[in-house]
Amino acid sequence: MILPPGLTEKDFSAALEQFTAVVGKEWVFRTDEDVNLYRDAYSPFWNEEEDRVPAAAVAPDGVEQIQQIVRIANKYQIPLWTVSTGKNLGYGAASPALSGSVILDLKRMNRILEVNDKTYYAVVEPGVSYFDLYRYIQEHKLNVWIDPADPGWGSPLGNALERGGGRTPMRDHFGAVCGLEVVLANGEVLRTGMGALPESAIWHQYKYGFGPYVDGIFSQSNFGIVTRMGLFLMPAPEAYRDGRVSVQKHDDLIPFMEKYAYLLNSDILRGNMMLESPLLSYKVSQGRAVFDMPGDPPVEELERIGKEKNLPYWSALFRFWGAPKIIDAQWEYTKEKFAEIPGATFSDGRSYKFPNDIKIEEIEADTLAALGIPNLGVFGLLQGADGHLGFSPIIPMTGEAIFKALKVYGEMYTELGLSPSNQFAALPWSYYPRALVFLFGISTYKDVEKNKKNREIFKKMIKVSAENGWGEYRTHVAFMDDVAAAYSFNDYVLRRFNETLKDAIDPNGILSPGKSGIWPKRLRKDKE
Amino acid sequence: MILPPGLTEKDFSAALEQFTAVVGKEWVFRTDEDVNLYRDAYSPFWNEEEDRVPAAAVAPDGVEQIQQIVRIANKYQIPLWTVSTGKNLGYGAASPALSGSVILDLKRMNRILEVNDKTYYAVVEPGVSYFDLYRYIQEHKLNVWIDPADPGWGSPLGNALERGGGRTPMRDHFGAVCGLEVVLANGEVLRTGMGALPESAIWHQYKYGFGPYVDGIFSQSNFGIVTRMGLFLMPAPEAYRDGRVSVQKHDDLIPFMEKYAYLLNSDILRGNMMLESPLLSYKVSQGRAVFDMPGDPPVEELERIGKEKNLPYWSALFRFWGAPKIIDAQWEYTKEKFAEIPGATFSDGRSYKFPNDIKIEEIEADTLAALGIPNLGVFGLLQGADGHLGFSPIIPMTGEAIFKALKVYGEMYTELGLSPSNQFAALPWSYYPRALVFLFGISTYKDVEKNKKNREIFKKMIKVSAENGWGEYRTHVAFMDDVAAAYSFNDYVLRRFNETLKDAIDPNGILSPGKSGIWPKRLRKDKE
């Protein structure tokens, strides 16, 4: 059994006994068998010493139990790594950044405290899943939609705090957060925003409160344990339709992205766009990469093939939610705007009126998510590896930036001799209104040598991205220090600022040490 | 000449000399004549000792000068009260929460660093005004709109950090902030979000960065001096139209607000709504109040008068921005939804196609702001007093909450014997998607006794609002402690949390002491 750093077995046993007194013995996990469930099945450190291994897990059911656990952890200086529910695959699962941490597992706190379909928000605990919330809304016949993450077993609270994305107009999950309850490192309960009014009527309807707006510092952080969250929801639309726009030439991507950014920021296109390239997919089918790599056919040749095989260079499915007459007008206008690009083609897609038209079993995962229906379809994407690490750099929302990224990552793939097929979502998505995100999956294996190599690739991707001004929005626990180190402006002043906050509000460093590269004083190593 | 608390005249003179060495003598202000310009012309403490009086002002022109000023301020423990540009009328103008503070006036930092009309953002310094930004966009013929505050001489940076509101779909001004540069209390320069990447290509396109999202703690706070801000802008729409919806009966407000919240959160109605009541305006013209007060005619009688005089009980102008075919469909659908309320009436309003249709001189202030055109028309509203204090509580976005507010504030007006005419915007607006805000103006005078009474009224309004679960979103410097004290959950844990952060990042307490009720350790009084 691994121990928390610096703790004797005796003290740890005493602490676990005290945890047991708080939550009952069925909710403290200390056997290898139980604890291994919290390790990362996709770990890049399979069978290596650096694999992150928890010392135990404790699953409280309520704020008061958490307060007591935090006080015990302070007494013994035990690091608590908080998880909500779901799997967090690709980002480290429930495994901590620091081996020997005790997992604070909040899955039992799974109460849906409110769903309001007059002003469109929900209030949830950490252990509520997208499935739970969806079912609750269905059962109560409420006039709201959720925006599920992929996959649907995830926690709306956990995903929002990790700043995950979805498919609908509400896909900026942290952007939809309104009002938190947080257990601080000293065991006190903080309510943010309007929740600080004792009789608040607007805790989960108005975000900012009075004075500093602090909610953001509890996202991707180790500054507190969030036990309750307000989340804005979307009114159930009357109808849905989608349609595809394709353009033929390589350089058409420049005006394509300009028109997209215009329409998106005018609230005419309102959801996530997954950029596609039927022509580059053809190139992939010929054993090449989506990226630009040496030996690729020149653009003119590709365009010729595209013409011959009727494969457009760029394409995207656009989704519309709302009243039929409005979404029809939006799609008409979208076509008009893109028709300014010579050769642009259009095709109508699905069209649903709710609640009658929709047959869930006939709809693929992407569209289910866009219809607010949580699912597990994303797992169909995983091939030829034992797992993956999510690598998700943000780039500008322009065609020029996409071209540059295809070139930069192509050079990197060439230099590293990577298999061109090692690609997950090699063209970017639009989780955000003015930037794009790539969602690469770097493979992991039950093979030490392969993992070693892929870890180096991951670090190289961080470095090369940073050199081009692109940063990751989120990362795997094993790479949090590396990603944080890329944010190095002015001698790492942001990290030092975060450390100052951390030391002030968690002086014993008990909450999730190492999260997002933030270490408490006693565990801080010298980093260049 | 007033001195900073605890400072000798000799030390203060020495400090001012050092400020002078940094910025030049024309940019250090110490005569009463100059310093009085920073005082509040609308002060609720006219001719009283508690009036907030600065000791001096210093106006740097750049980050390095600010860094030097901050270092000098640390040496002498001089409080620096930062202001950007504009007047901040109703909220204390440029006057500090602590008399004897030195105003750090950033008006000289008025560079527009970038306006991007491909991905729709601007990058501004604190001294840039809405007028400046508007002119810049016009001169460069850029395809973007701004969302000005009332009035247009304000600072987009200052207003966003105060979390002000506007009229267009981009009216949540803090919500549009993306990426800050901040001089910290120790003189170091922090860049937030993606700005922490040294070669960032996405500082002002993606908000959250990696790790804790810290931007919020620099809003309404004294945690740093913001010297640069990214601000999302709206693509210039092709057209604008507006239309009015009216409903006849008192109780119609319930479905009216439900339909409004549905349409607003479906992105069909996209701007600020100012709720109106032609019938209650008639009541006001008869010497009564908008609020419910004793002696008011009963609802049935009012409804009868409304019918007779053709005055609807509730009414609102809805604005639409975008492509003609889309906004026409949105207005059609809006009418359909409200037509479900028996007796609802509709009238078409203005209709513009840009850039040709619009004649600025013919358009009133509200609509100018809704067209992204900064102006000073708001000053037409001020009557019968020498100034006002903004009082702005947030309430839920429901008819029930509005009824309750009219009753609660009516009882308060009755109890205090207030003039029913003492009303500014006595029906709420929708700066935010799931809550409403009242914008009252409590009068101030060049009269000590009247001010004394109105200060008590102001405090009473804070208290009564809090008892009903409603909190102010922003307040005047003279009432920051009182408003902060209403946010008292769990023995003022939010304030204590903010104080912990403050002491950690500004140990000498030099930055804007008292801002939002946050005092540094050395100036903290015991508050119950």
Q: Which residues from chain A sit within 8 angstroms of residue B504, using beta carbons?
A: 500-501, 503-505
Q: Give contacts of A470 with chain B, Cβ < 8 Å.
A: 197, 201-202
B313 is annotated as an active-site residue? no
Instruction: Identify which has the larger pLDDT, B381 or B273.
Output: B273
Amino acid at the residue B426: A
Return d(Cα B277, Cα B283) in angstroms, integer: 10
The stretch A488-514 carries a mean pLDDT of 98
pTM above the 0.90 mark? yes
| Chain A residues closer than 8 Å to B191 by CB | 489-490, 493-494
Whether B235 and A265 lie within 8 Å, measured CB to CB = yes
- pLDDT at residue B528, as a whole number: 42
* Mean pLDDT (whole number) for B161-166: 97
pLDDT tens for A366-393 read: 899 999 999 887 655 555 778 888 899 9
Contacts of A500 in chain B (CB under 8 A): 504-505
A159/B contact by beta carbon, under 8 A:
no
Q: Which residues of chain B make contact with A433, given a CB cutoff of 8 A? A: 120, 232
**Is residue B188 less than 8 Å (CB to CB) from chain A?**
yes
Considering only CB atoms, which chain B residues are within 8 Å of A207?
432
Model confidence over B19-34: pLDDT tens digits? 999 999 999 999 999 9
Q: Which of B63, B115, B119 to mutate to test the interface with A (most CBs of A within 10 A)?
A: B119
Average pLDDT estimate for A164-187:
98
Answer whether A120 touches B (CB < 8 Å): yes
pLDDT at residue A421 above 70?
Answer: no
Cβ atoms within 10 A of the Cβ of B85, count?
26
Nearest one of B41, B37, B36, B35 to B16, comparing CA atoms: B35
**Is the confidence metric ipTM above 0.95 for this complex?**
yes
| Span A28-45, average pLDDT | 93
B478 and A171 in contact (C-beta within 8 Å)? no
* A75 has a pLDDT exceeding 80: yes
HSE-up of A275 (CA within 13 Å, CB side)? 27
CB-based contact B435 A234, cutoff 8 Å: no
Q: By C-alpha distance, which of B139, B114, B202, B143 is closest to A394?
A: B202
At residue A143, what is the residue type? Answer: N
% pLDDT > 90, chain B:
84
- Going by pLDDT thresholds of 50, 70 and 90, the confidence category of residue A2 is very high
**How far is Cα B276 from Cα B293, in angstroms, rounded to an integer?**
18
Residues 298-357 of B with CB under 8 A from A: 321-323, 325-326, 328-330, 332-333
pLDDT reported for residue B7: 97
Mean of pLDDT values over A148-172? 95
% of chain A residues with pLDDT over 70: 97
Residue A194 near residue A203 (C-beta atoms within 8 A): yes
Dmax (CA) for chain A in angstroms is 75
pLDDT at A422 over 70: no
Q: Is the pLDDT of residue A207 over 70?
A: yes
Nearest to A179 by CA among A202, A158, A162, A156: A202
pLDDT at A491: 98
From the centroid of its chain, how far is CA A343? 36
Give B475-519 pLDDT, tens digit per residue.
999 999 999 999 999 999 999 999 999 999 999 999 999 999 999
Could you please state the CATH topology (level 3) that the domain comprising B112-235 is classified under. 3.30.465
State whether residue B191 sits within 8 Å of chain A by CB. Answer: yes
Q: Give yes or no for a contact between A148 and A168, defined as CB atoms under 8 angstroms apart.
A: no
A157 pLDDT band, cuts 50/70/90, is very high
Lowest mean pLDDT across A81-90, A339-348, B69-78, B216-225: A81-90
Our CA-based measurement puts residue B172 at a distance from the nearest CA of chain A, in whole angstroms, of 11
Considering chain B, tell me which residue range(s) the CATH 3.30.465.10 domain(s) occupy: 112-235
pLDDT for residue B423: 59
- Are A211 and B494 in contact (CB < 8 Å)? yes
Picking from A91, A326, A481 by the largest number of B CB atoms within 10 A of its own CB, the best residue to mutate is: A326
Cα separation, A214 vs A219, in Å, equals 10
Predicted confidence band of residue B362 (pLDDT cuts 50, 70, 90): confident
Q: Which of B413, B432, B473, B495 is catalytic?
A: B473
pLDDT higher than threshold 80 for residue B8: yes
Q: 10 Å Cβ neighbour count for A449?
A: 8
Catalytic residue list contains B409: no
**Residue B280 DSSP SS3:** helix
Across the range B130-147, mean pLDDT stands at 98
pLDDT for the residue A429: 96
Residue A190 sits at the chain B interface (C-beta within 8 Å) = yes
Exposure string over A422-439, b if 16+ CB within 10 A, otherwise e = bbbbbbbbbbbbbbbbbb
Cβ of residue B115 closer than 8 Å to a chain A Cβ: no
Q: Are the CB atoms for B190 and A497 separated by under 8 Å?
A: yes
Nearest CA in chain B to A183: B493
pLDDT surpassing 70 at residue A305: yes
| Contact assignment for B469 to A199 by CB distance below 8 Å | yes
CB hemisphere CA count around A72 (13 angstroms): 23
Calculate the average pLDDT of chain B. 94
Q: How does the average pLDDT of chain A come out, rounded?
A: 94
Give the strands of the sheet with B56-58, arranged side by side: B28-29, B56-58, B102-105, B80-83
What pLDDT sits at residue B383?
59
- Per-residue DSSP letter, B49: T
Answer yes or no: do A394 and B202 touch at CB < 8 A: yes
Domain span(s) for CATH 3.30.43.10 in chain A: 1-108+487-528
Q: pLDDT per residue over B315-355, tens digit each?
A: 999 999 999 999 999 999 999 999 999 999 999 999 999 98
Mutate to test the interface with A, among B265, B354, B400 (most CBs of A within 10 A): B265
Q: How far apart are CA A356 and CA A349, in angstroms?
A: 18
Which CATH number is associated with domain A239-374?
Answer: 3.40.462.10
Using CB atoms, which residue from B262, B322, B470 is nearest to A268? B322
Cis check: omega of the bond before B294, within 30 degrees of 0: no
Contact state of A329 with B332 under an 8 Å Cβ cutoff: no
Beta strands in A223-355 (DSSP E): 225-232, 234-235, 239-247, 314-322, 345-353
**Does residue B88 or residue A119 have the better pLDDT?**
A119
Of B116, B96, B80, nearest to B40 (Cα)? B96
Q: Is beta strand B102-105 parallel, antiparallel or unpaired with respect to B56-58? A: parallel
B413 is known as an active-site residue: no
Tens digits of residue pLDDT in B392-435: 999 999 999 999 999 999 998 888 887 766 555 579 999 999 99
Is B397 in Cβ contact with A201 (below 8 Å)?
A: no
Q: Give chain A positions within 8 Å (CB) of B195.
A: 489
* pLDDT value of residue B523: 94
Domain with CATH 3.40.462.10 in chain A: 239-374, 387-479
A296 touching chain B per CB within 8 A: no
pLDDT score recorded for residue A64: 98
Measure in Å the smallest separation between the Cα of B56 and chain A Cα atoms: 25
Q: What is the pLDDT of residue B418?
A: 77
Rounded to a whole number of angstroms, the distance from the CA of B401 to the nearest CA of chain A is 9
- The CATH class of B1-108+487-528 is alpha beta
CB contact under 8 A, A212 and B200: no
Contacts of B400 in chain A (CB under 8 A): none
| Region A210-217 average pLDDT | 98
| Sequence-separated (6 or more) residues with CB below 8 Å from residue B377 | B150, B151, B364, B365, B366, B368
Picking from B180, B188, B205 by the largest number of A CB atoms within 10 A of its own CB, the best residue to mutate is B205
Q: How confident is the model at residue A528 (pLDDT cuts 50, 70, 90)?
A: very low
The whole-number pLDDT of residue B378 equals 64
pLDDT at A381: 53
Query: A221, A490, A494: which to substitute to probe chain B, counting the most B Cβ within 10 Å?
Result: A494
Position B180 pLDDT exceeds 50: yes
Instruction: Tell me the average pLDDT across B302-318.
Output: 97
Residues 130-149 of A with CB under 8 A from B: 143
pLDDT band for A424, please (50, 70, 90 cuts).
Answer: low
CA-nearest of B236, B357, B204, B108 to A433 is B204
**Confidence bin at A501 (pLDDT 50/70/90):** very high
Residue B163's pLDDT band (cuts 50, 70, 90): very high
Q: CB-based contact (8 Å) between B501 and chain A?
A: yes
**Helix or strand run (H / E) with residue A384:** none
Quickly name the fold that domain B387-479 has.
Vanillyl-alcohol Oxidase; Chain A, domain 3 (3.40.462)
Element (H, E) at B124: strand B121-124
Tens digits of residue pLDDT in A96-109: 999 999 999 999 99
Q: What is the pLDDT of residue B440?
A: 85
